[in-house]
Amino acid sequence: MKRFLEMINWKLVGIWVLMGVLLRIFNNQLTASQLPANLQFVLAICLRVIFYWIVLRKYVQRIGLWSLATIAGMLVVRLVHMNLGGLFDQLYSDAIPILAAFLIFPLYGAFLMFIRAFFQWIVLRKEVQRAYYWIIGSVVANIIEGQLGSFLVFEWLSGSISLPYFYIPSVEFIVYSVFLVITGMVMASLFPSVESTHNQRLELETI
């Protein structure tokens, strides 16, 4: 664990989280707009590509292919959701509420996340070792986000925690920030800082 933390490029993590929060704000504004659904989806893809370009252009050499892989992954996710979304909604509505919130919802989200991460992995595996970390980290982060979000909602509805109504949207950003920190750490571990790389070389030389 210590070695993993030493490998992380914390500057990249900070930029990743900051830009991720801004991306979420823009996406929420887009969802709340009166634009047609297809146009919203196209604009969401554009925002996602811009996010990755700003954050990763100095690290991913083939950022253009990464962008294309991201677009392809989002398109496939949309097609899968269009075909399986009805089945998911039926399972979700028929299941016991706690089972639906803590099992069906997180697993379905993780499945969709796996698809997008897999397309990105195709490009990433040609540039870094352990590129499969990205798939694992993305899926695990998505599951944790879903579980944490479901827990907070259940606790709020049951009255175990008391939150003003206006505070509820900020909970979404807190939960999403957890997802961003985890995925940011995984991505940053694949592109360690110059200092951490230098320290690792010194350790190898002293062995």
Residue 82 has φ and ψ, to the nearest 5°, of -65, -30
Range of 93's domain?
2-206
| pLDDT confidence of residue 72 | 97
| pLDDT confidence of residue 87 | 72
| pLDDT confidence of residue 193 | 61
Residue 136 and residue 39: Cα distance in Å, rounded? Answer: 31
| pLDDT confidence of residue 153 | 64
| Successive 10-residue mean pLDDT values, the chain, 207 residues | 73 93 91 90 95 94 94 95 78 65 77 95 92 95 83 60 54 85 94 51 38
| pLDDT confidence of residue 172 | 76
Q: Which residue has the tokens 């490029």?
A: 9
Provide the domain count of the chain: 1
| pLDDT confidence of residue 159 | 55
Sign of CA dihedral 79, 22, 11, 106: negative
